[in-house]
Amino acid sequence: MLRVFCCVVWRFADAKLVHSLISYIAMKSKFLKVAAVTAGVLMLAACSKSPEQKAQAMIEDYMQAHLNDPASFELVKYSNLGKRTPMERAFVQITNECIAQHMSDSIDVFLARFKENYSSKGKDPYEILGWEMSCKYRANNAYGAKILKEETFVFNPEMTEILVVE
């Protein structure tokens, strides 16, 4: 098609004009190729799920497999996806223990001691052990009554499976 067009133009125009026209068309086709490749890459990137979307999909699959009446599942809300680190776990345990023993002013001291002990073993206290997301939902229990429940789902670091449901 391009050749036919150039031949027709060649007969009615001078060589300089034809050369400029061919260069313009070649430049446009390079631009179109680059634009098409860029659009393809963006479409592929848009097709991959975010970590939050992966976690929500795994939770919904879990609910379908484990609820007494999966059709009664009504999502109330998801929490934000959070990191699970040794320091995060230590914070929860130390805080709960200190509050139970009325020693809430000692939380910082115990956390600093935990971090120091963990680091002295050559381990990173902020290493990502996994991810967690809570799900608050309503569903029918075994008796058919609608109940409100909240569960925390712990995922592996690669976000490919649920490790624990708390």
SS (H, E, C) the chain: CHHHHHHHHHHHCCHHHHHHHHHHHHHHHHHHHHHHHHHHHHHHHHHCCCHHHHHHHHHHHHHHHHCCCHHHCEEEEECCCEEECHHHHHHHHHHHHHHHCCCHHHHHHHHHHHHHHHHHCCCCCCCCCEEEEEEEEEEECCCCCEEEEEEEEEECCCCCCEEEEC
**Mean model confidence pLDDT for the chain:** 83
Residue pair 149/137 in contact by the 8 Å Cβ criterion: yes
Could you tell me the pLDDT band of residue 14, with boundaries at 50, 70 and 90? low
pLDDT at 85: 93
Phi, then psi, of 48 in degrees rounded to 5 = -75, 145
pLDDT at 49: 87
The pair of three-digit structure tokens given for residue 131, joined into one six-digit string: 């991810």
Out of 6-15, 21-30, 90-99, 139-148, give the one with best mean pLDDT: 139-148
Residue bearing the bigger pLDDT, 32 or 85? 85
pTM, 2 dp: 0.64
Cα-Cα-Cα-Cα torsion 130, 88, 62, 140, nearest 10 degrees, comes to: 180
The CA distances from residue 145 to 13, 68, 75, 139, in Å, are: 85, 11, 16, 8
